[in-house]
């Protein structure tokens, strides 16, 4: 898939298919931040509704936490990737690419389907991690080794903040 377009659906499909041109496009399109935010919130709602007993209140709470987590993770990734591993990006570029990397998460809605629910959630999570790796690599313009280290160090910082703070991000 090489065609890239500015509409949300086309970009989500491109990101889900791990299309590098899609990640490059949203990285440089400052107007795509709202689209990325919509994906983050939409995926959180899909995940909340894809769990047994997840109602509207749970969906709203999940969307709020996911939004905050997205902001924090993009910030940590920006600081680690640019300041430690010499990447070249802005926080906004990481927000956009990491937001679009969550596109496969729409599969979380299948969580309530017997038999395939657990598998679909596992596949979506793995898919998002792969897309996130590509998103970080493309946004920071670094190689796979530095991207891996950025994810590893950033993930450690993120986990530390989760454990030792009162914030549910």
- With helix as H, strand as E and coil as C, how does the chain read? CCCCCCCHHHHHHHHHCCCHHHHHHHHHCHHHHHHHHHHHHHHHHHHHHCCCCCCHHHHHHHHHHHHHHHHHHHHHHHHHHHHHCCCCCCHHHHHHHHHHHCHHHHHHHHHHCCCHHHHHHHHHHHHHHHHHHHHHHHHHCCCHHHHHHHHHHHHHHHHHHHHCCCCCC
- How does the average pLDDT of the chain come out, rounded? 91
Residue 53 pLDDT more than 70? Answer: no
Overall average pLDDT of the 129-147 stretch: 98
Q: With cut-offs at 50, 70 and 90, classify the pLDDT of residue 92.
A: very high
Q: Give the whole-number percent of the chain exceeding pLDDT 70.
A: 92
Overall average pLDDT of the 104-110 stretch: 94
């Amino acid at each position: 898939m090489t065609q890239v377009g500015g509409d949300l659906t086309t970009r989500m499909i491109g990101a889900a298919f791990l299309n590098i041109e899609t990640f490059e496009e949203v990285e440089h399109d400052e107007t795509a931040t709202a689209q990325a935010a919509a994906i983050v919130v939409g995926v959180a709602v899909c995940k909340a509704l894809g769990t047994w007993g997840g109602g509207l209140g749970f969906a709203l709470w999940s969307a709020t936490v996911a939004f905050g987590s997205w902001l924090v993770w993009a910030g940590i990734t920006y600081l680690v990737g640019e300041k430690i591993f010499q990447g070249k990006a802005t926080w906004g570029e990481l927000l956009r690419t990491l937001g679009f990397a969550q596109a496969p998460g729409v599969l979380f809605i299948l969580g309530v389907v017997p038999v395939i629910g657990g598998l679909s959630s596992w596949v979506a999570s793995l898919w998002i991690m792969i897309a996130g790796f590509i998103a970080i690599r493309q946004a920071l313009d670094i190689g796979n080794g530095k991207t891996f280290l950025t994810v590893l160090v950033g993930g450690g910082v993120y986990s530390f903040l989760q454990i030792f703070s009162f914030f549910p991000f």
